[in-house]
């Protein structure tokens, strides 16, 4: 597709092409209504954001249950104690046997490349994935870049869950502050890539981007 360097709509054979740069402007929106639409051929990505115990994971699971596609679950948590083991077991029972569950605390990017095109995958959650890399002292910028590239290239439909951690007071220790900043940057990047972004509070969804 040709894009005029001046920011004006490119023309080909007498027909204008949709504006790509500055498409949020009223002029571009008016112009594009009479022009061919540009379709996003990537698999859909839905980003679910919320605080702890907000109901975000339940909401994300319900979205997947509504899909007729085969379902995969990419679990990023690590089981270190009986409490976490009980929580994992409860989630497994809740999802049922129709799901294929993958436990991948660090290498989520590699798995995303391998998912079948006709599947829908719930990644729960980006916060635990980030925590695992932070505690392993990995390069967070590199890990985030690899994850975003894998999401972009993933053939399956994705539903990604993450925590909003920036609504409280400033943490008192350096590691917690580093985590909060890294989580904020990751959430911004995931929201930018996602087709639909939903914030869940007290079990109630608020659509921030796109539509359900």
- Active-site position among 91, 113, 119, 138: 91
Distances, alpha carbon 184 to alpha carbons 10, 39, 107, 177, 195, in Å: 37, 29, 21, 11, 19
Contact between 110 and 76 (Cβ < 8 Å):
no
> Is 91 an annotated catalytic residue?
yes
DSSP character at residue 7: S
Give me the sheet containing 99-103, strands edge to edge: 99-103, 71-75, 120-124, 157-163, 45-50, 196-201, 204-209
Helix (H) or strand (E) holding 177: helix 174-193
43 close to 155: Cβ distance less than 8 angstroms: yes
Return the closest-CA partner of residue 63 out of 80, 76, 47, 78. Answer: 47
Active site residues: 91
């Amino acid at each position: 597709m040709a894009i005029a360097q001046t920011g004006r709509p490119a023309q080909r054979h007498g027909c204008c092409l949709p504006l790509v740069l500055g498409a949020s402007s009223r002029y571009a929106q008016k112009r594009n209504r009479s022009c061919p639409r540009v379709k996003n051929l990537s698999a859909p990505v839905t980003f679910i954001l919320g605080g702890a115990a907000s109901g975000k994971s339940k909401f994300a699971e319900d979205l997947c249950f509504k899909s007729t596609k085969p379902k995969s679950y990419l679990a990023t948590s690590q089981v270190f104690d009986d409490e976490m083991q009980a929580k994992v077991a409860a989630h497994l029972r809740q999802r049922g046997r129709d799901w294929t569950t993958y436990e991948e605390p660090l290498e989520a990017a590699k798995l995303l490349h391998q998912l079948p095109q006709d599947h829908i995958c719930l990644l729960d959650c980006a916060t635990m994935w980030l925590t695992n890399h932070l505690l392993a002292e990995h390069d967070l910028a590199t890990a985030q870049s690899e994850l975003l590239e894998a999401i972009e290239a993933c053939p399956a439909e994705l539903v990604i869950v993450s925590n909003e951690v920036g609504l409280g007071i400033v943490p008192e220790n350096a590691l917690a502050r580093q985590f909060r900043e890294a989580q904020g940057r990751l959430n911004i990047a995931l929201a930018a890539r996602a087709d639909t972004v939903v914030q869940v509070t007290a079990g109630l969804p608020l659509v921030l981007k796109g539509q359900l």
